[in-house]
Amino acid sequence: MTMVQAIGAALHDAMAADDRVVVFGEDVGRQGGVFRVTDGLQGTYGEQRCFDTPLAESGIVGAAIGMALRGFRPVPEIQFDGFTYPAFDQVATHLAKYRSRTRGLVRMPVTIRVPSFGAIGSPEHHSESTETYWAHTAGLKVVVPSTPADAYSLLRDSIECDDPVMFLEPKRRYWAKEDVDRAARREPIGTAVVRRPGDTVTVVTYGGLVGVALEAATLAAEEHGWDVEVVDLRSLVPLDIDTVAASVARTGRCVVLHEGPRTLGMGAEIAARLQEEVFWDLEAPILRATGFDTPYPPTRLEGDWLPGVDRLLDTVERSLSYDHA
Amino acid sequence: MADLIIDEVALEPIQLIAPDGHPTPHHGLDPTSVVDRLPAMYRAMVATRGVDEEMVNLQRQGQLALYPPCAGQEAAQVGCATALRDTDWLFPQYRELGAFLVRGIDPGGVGLSWRGTWNGGLGFVERCVAPICIAIGTNTLHAVGAAMASTWLGDGGVTVAFIGDGGTSEGDVHEALNLAAVQQAPCIVFVQNNGWAISTPTHDQYRAPSLAHRAIGYGMPGVRVDGNDVAACHMVVAEAAERARRGDGPTLVEAVTYRMGPHTTSDDPTRYRSEGEVATWRALDPITRCEAFLRHVGAWDDTLAEEAASHAADLRRSLRDAVYDAPDGPATEVFEHVFAEPTPELLRQRDELAAELEREG
């Protein structure tokens, strides 16, 4: 199934398994979501458990907090990444802090689904990388799946989790296909996975760019004989730095690949953590292939702006140019 | 019950007891119908006034970091809270001491928040009171979500969001009122219009005829009530709660009252308002009004005053004890409640702090 279908299946199965799960947001009901992710939920579970809200992002998240306080497991959708900003206050001020504010008395099992990131030719505010805002906010888990099977499994986990989760869905992977075994749950939130083993250089990435990294790795092997290892983080909080560090300790080189602007992006965190963990194993500085420190560009320019196979391979080559021999 | 809440929003606040204690029946409704409940409300108002004074004292002694006094607003808070069931959820801001005490929250639980040892208030959620909300207006949305949940649970619950006149200017309050109306959520948004948002007077805060008038735009009833008249506040909220419970949706209540003290112990109201204004409102004191009414209808008993004063003194003492004796708690506790299970990174950071504390002895 596609990632859209996998996420829809996860919502269906979560709602069937637990009648406290409610899905709401803009256009998720009658329309089934602008990407049809929530297709059929209202028909199956009724208008109380899947409903359309007024166009008000802060309201969607704020109301979810009240529902969670009364024992529900809300799964609100914010229609696009760039529209999470109006909800930022409710997320940062309350959702992320309710547990610590009440010393564990109040749980916030809220999973906010956000169709995220770029490369689908959308207008302004429809292609942004918001993960750093959430990862920097204590009390939130941040999950970014890259495949349909992971999306299914990680979303089920997120909904069952007693903590708030920002579930960022890479739109460019919505139509990727993969067999999904709904009976088998894969590894839980907080575990990275090596998507392609290699021993020349480690590429660390997540979400929509995992596919780009794998494509680049194939090209690198064919054209240059570089054996690129690709690590998919899958969740940014908790961050499975151990898997990344083990990989980099072996290859001695690391390139972090992400769409968001470079300054204080996930690459900055991973580079800092790796130099604490595996400094003596490094053969080269940890490098980053990222978006730029500019607002997300107009659609016709996003192909040039986004980090792709070429920018990644250039960065890998730069990493390999550090030669101590 | 009389129809206090009507489609047309009246500018003149509903009043059942005049400042001099004479009944002022409204729409045929007479405050003598709640006379048996007024002694309890009087007692709660006196307790609120006393504990409020003690909080200010403790702040002046350096025991509390900050405190937002509520003197003058006792009738609005006590009248509202006593009109509800103990299982109805309250979503306060931070000035709702009267509502907290009505719910049986230990004054120490409130004091420790302002001392800085318990952010959300001790003993709050166990009594269906959401933690103190320092951000303005954001709590209204939580109340709407919880009200929707009450409908789904079929528990007949009503939620009340407390905000001030300043809070109504926040965008979240618009989203909350609109969502509540669309969902017909069993929710009451209770605005205490206390005249000032720190130093901003109401005429610089809004230009609508009243805050209750905003209800028209959302498609819900709005009602203005004399916020220093405990009987009127009680009956208006009781009727709004009854409407909500029978599925008729939310109500916007504006209680017109006055903040006698500063916004918090940090500001100086003499810089922004006149002594004459304060004196005018001091003459409208909600506690003396309640007493005057009880005397007027022959329901006053001197033992009530004594008993209320003694109860307030007990609460003041328990607050002092709680604050003086409160330990700060271990610093590493901050890592315990970030997530259900701490992440490996949080455990690393906890160990880092523990080692640092040990080195410092």
Domains, chain A, in order of start with CATH, read: 3-173 (3.40.50.970), 193-321 (3.40.50.920)
**Please, are residues A38 and A50 in contact by the beta-carbon 8 Å criterion?**
yes
Which H, E and C letters describe chain A, residue by residue?
CEHHHHHHHHHHHHHHHCCCEEEEECCCCCCCCCCCCCCCHHHHHHHHHEEECCCCHHHHHHHHHHHHHCCCEEEEECCCHHHCHHHHHHHHHHHCCHHHHCCCCCCCCCEEEEEECCCCCCCCCCCCCCHHHHHCCCCCEEECCCCHHHHHHHHHHHHHCCCCEEEEEEHHHCCCECCCCCCCCCCCCCCCEEEECCCCEEEEECCCHHHHHHHHHHHHHHHHCCCEEEEECCEEECCCHHHHHHHHHHHCCEEEEEEEECCCCHHHHHHHHHHHHCHHHCCCCCEEEEECCCCCCCHHHHHHHCCCHHHHHHHHHHHHCCCCC
Cβ of A90 within 8 Å of Cβ of B141? The answer is: yes
Q: Please report, rounded to a whole number, the percentage of residues in chain B having pLDDT higher than 90.
A: 92
The dihedral of CA B59, B64, B65, B69: what is its sign?
negative
* Spatial distance between the Cα atoms of A169 and A117, rounded to a whole number of angstroms: 8
Query: Per the CATH hierarchy, to which homologous superfamily does domain B31-329 belong?
Result: Thiamin diphosphate (ThDP)-binding fold, Pyr/PP domains (3.40.50.970)
Residue window 142-161, chain A: list those with CB within 8 Å of chain B: 161
User: Given a cut of 60, is residue B2 above it in pLDDT?
Assistant: no
Q: Residue B337's pLDDT is what?
A: 95
Chain A residues with CB-CB distance to B163 below 8 A: none
Cβ of A67 within 8 Å of Cβ of B141? The answer is: no
- Could you confirm whether A324 is annotated as catalytic? no
Kindly compute the dihedral angle of the four CA atoms of residues B100, B105, B111, B113, in this order, to the nearest 10 degrees: -80
Q: Residue A2's pLDDT is what?
A: 98
Looking at the partner chain, which of A69, A93, A138 has a beta carbon nearest the beta carbon of B146?
A: A69
Amino acid at B241: A
Distance, CA of B265 to chain centre: 18
Confirm or reject contact between B331 and chain A (CB < 8 A): no
Distance from CA of A201 to the nearest CA of B (A): 25
Give the tokens for residue A115.
């169709």
b/e per residue, A66-98, with b = 16+ CB within 10 A? Answer: bbbbbebbbbbbbbbbbbbebbbbbbbbbbbbb
Domain-by-domain residue ranges, chain B? 31-329, 335-360
Over residues A186-201, mean pLDDT: 96
Over residues A177-183, mean pLDDT: 95
Cβ of A163 within 8 Å of Cβ of B340? The answer is: yes
| Tokens 């992977």 sit on residue | A173
Give the tokens for residue B19.
């400042």
**Please, are residues A90 and B138 in contact by the beta-carbon 8 Å criterion?**
yes
Looking at the partner chain, which of B141, B153, B344 has a beta carbon nearest the beta carbon of A62?
A: B141
**Please, are residues B117 and B232 in contact by the beta-carbon 8 Å criterion?**
no
Looking at the partner chain, which of A89, A107, A238 has a beta carbon nearest the beta carbon of B344?
A: A238
Confirm or reject contact between A100 and chain B (CB < 8 A): yes
* Spatial distance between the Cα atoms of A127 and A27, rounded to a whole number of angstroms: 19
What's the DSSP call for residue B168?
A: G
Answer whether the bond into residue B286 is a cis peptide, omega within 30°: no
A325 pLDDT tier (thresholds 50, 70, 90): low
Task: Report phi then psi at B41, rounded to 5.
Answer: -70, -40
Mean pLDDT of chain A: 97
Chain B residues with CB-CB distance to A105 below 8 A: 125-126
**Please, are residues B98 and B70 in contact by the beta-carbon 8 Å criterion?**
yes
Cβ of B179 within 8 Å of Cβ of A100? The answer is: no
* Spatial distance between the Cα atoms of A131 and A117, rounded to a whole number of angstroms: 9
* Spatial distance between the Cα atoms of B131 and A100, rounded to a whole number of angstroms: 11
**Please, are residues B120 and A103 in contact by the beta-carbon 8 Å criterion?**
yes
Residues of B forming the active site: 259, 263, 272
User: Given a cut of 70, is residue B7 above it in pLDDT?
Assistant: no
Over residues A205-212, mean pLDDT: 98
Residue window 228-287, chain A: list those with CB within 8 Å of chain B: 237-239, 241-242
Give the tokens for residue A74.
């809300």
Strand-pair category, A141-143 with A235-237 = antiparallel
Q: Residue B245's pLDDT is what?
A: 98
User: pLDDT digit string (tens) for A14-58?
Assistant: 999 999 999 999 999 999 999 999 999 999 999 999 999 999 999
Distance from CA of B285 to the nearest CA of A (A): 35
Looking at the partner chain, which of B149, B176, B344 has a beta carbon nearest the beta carbon of A59?
A: B176
Among residues B242, B261, B96, B138, the alpha carbon closest in space to that of A65 is found at B138
Cβ of A90 within 8 Å of Cβ of B178? The answer is: no
Cβ of B120 within 8 Å of Cβ of A103? The answer is: yes
Which helix (H) or strand (E) is B79 found in, with range?
helix B74-81
* ipTM reported for the complex, 2 dp: 0.94
* Spatial distance between the Cα atoms of B250 and B96, rounded to a whole number of angstroms: 21
Radius of gyration of chain A (CA): 20
Cα angle value B69/B75/B80 (rounded, 5°): 105
Confirm or reject contact between B266 and chain A (CB < 8 A): no
User: pLDDT digit string (tens) for B213-236?
Assistant: 999 999 999 999 999 999 999 999
User: pLDDT digit string (tens) for B114-171?
Assistant: 999 988 889 999 999 999 999 999 999 999 999 999 999 999 999 999 999 999 999 9
B6 pLDDT tier (thresholds 50, 70, 90): low
* Spatial distance between the Cα atoms of A6 and A1, rounded to a whole number of angstroms: 6
Beta bridge partners of B196: B201
B3 pLDDT tier (thresholds 50, 70, 90): low
Confirm or reject contact between B43 and chain A (CB < 8 A): no
Confirm or reject contact between A59 and chain B (CB < 8 A): yes
Looking at the partner chain, which of A58, A98, A101 has a beta carbon nearest the beta carbon of B141?
A: A58
**Please, are residues B60 and B265 in contact by the beta-carbon 8 Å criterion?**
yes
Q: Please report, rounded to a whole number, the percentage of residues in chain A having pLDDT higher than 70.
A: 100
Cβ of A48 within 8 Å of Cβ of B152? The answer is: yes
